[in-house]
Amino acid sequence: MYVIKLDAIGSTNAYLKELTLTSIPQDYTVVVSEHQTNGRGQMGTKWETEAGKNLTVSVFKKILKLNIQEQFYISMCVSLAITETLGKFQIKQLRIKWPNDILSANKKICGILIENIIKNNKMVGSIIGIGLNVNQKFFNDLSQASSLSLLTGVIYSKEEILFEILKQIQFYFDLLESGKKSFIKNKYENQLFRMNKPSTFKLNNDGTLSGIIKGIDNVGKLIIWTEDEILRTFDLKEIKLLY
Ligand code: BTN
C-alpha cells in the first residue's frame, strides 16, 4: 500500500484522477488530506468539512474482473467496509442509505464518491472517495449530518479509523475478486436504510412516490414496491428518499 499524506488539496479524488491520466497507479494507492478546498460530492455537489477534523481520503483500486454492468459491486464493497469499520468503533444503528451514504441513528456520517476509470469499454480501476465525519462538532445548515464524535462524545484518532477502513476495503475486494457476489449483495441489502418499510420518495420529474424498498437489482438500481402494487426500479438520477 502506498499512502500520500497531504495538508491541503482541492479534492483527493481529483488528485488521484489526475494521476490516472498519465499511468495506472499502484493498487491501493491512498491519498489522504487534512483539508480539501474543493471537495466533491455525489451528483455534482460540494463536500465541505472543517479542516483537520474529518477523514477525507481517496483510494485507487485496480479493477480487473468486473464488467461495466457490475460496477455497483464497488459501491457495495466500500459501503460494507465502512459499516464494518464503524461497528468496530462501537458506532450504533448503522445503515446504508442507497446508494452509498452511511447513516447512524438516521444521520449521515459518511459520504462516498466512486469514480470509475473505464478504457475501451472495460473497467480498469476505481477511485474511491470517502468523506467520514469524525471529530467535527458543528454542521451549519446540515440538519441531517452528524459525526462520530457528536454521536458518542469520544474524540477519535483519524489514523486508527483510516487503518481499519483500508483493512476492510481490502477484505471486501478480496471477497469480490473471489466471486462472492451474492454474499456481498445480501449483506448490503441487509443493511439498507428503510428496507421493507413504507417510505416516500421524491421523483426527479417532480411529484412524490410512496412505496417500499425491496432491494437492488443486478446493476444496483433501487427496487421499489409501489402503492399500485408493481415493482419499479430507479437509478440515482431519478429518485430521492425523503426521510
Ligand atoms: C457524497 O456526496 O455523499 C459523497 C462525498 C464524498 C466526499 C469525499 S472526501 C474525499 C473524496 N474527495 C472528494 O473530493 N470527495 C470525496
pLDDT for 136 equals 97
pLDDT for 140 equals 84
Give start and end residues of each alpha helix (H) in 23-102.
72-88
- Per the omega criterion (within 30 degrees of 0), is the bond before 99 cis? yes
- Residue 40 Cα to chain centre, angstroms: 13
State which amino acid sits at residue 192: L
pLDDT for 143 equals 80
pLDDT for 124 equals 95
Give start and end residues of each alpha helix (H) in the chain.
12-22, 72-88, 148-152, 158-177, 181-190
| C-alpha grid cell, residue 111 | 459520504
Distance CA 84, CA 242 (A): 25
Residue nearest to atom 15 of ligand 1 (CA): 40
Distance CA 162, CA 154 (A): 16
Task: Examine the pLDDT at 205 and tell me if it is beyond 90.
Answer: no
User: Greatest CA separation found in the chain?
Assistant: 53
Distance CA 148, CA 131 (A): 12
47 alpha carbon – ligand 1 mean position (Å): 6
| C-alpha grid cell, residue 144 | 441531517
**Which are the contacts of 190, defined by CB distance < 8 A and separation ≥ 6?**
none
113 alpha carbon – ligand 1 mean position (Å): 5
Q: Is the pTM of this model over 0.75?
A: yes
Q: Residue 231 pairs with which residues in a beta bridge?
A: 225
Reported as a pLDDT band with limits 50, 70 and 90, residue 141 is confident
Q: Would the CB of 99 count as within 6 Å of ligand 1?
A: no
Q: Would the CB of 133 count as within 6 Å of ligand 1?
A: no
| C-alpha grid cell, residue 105 | 441513528
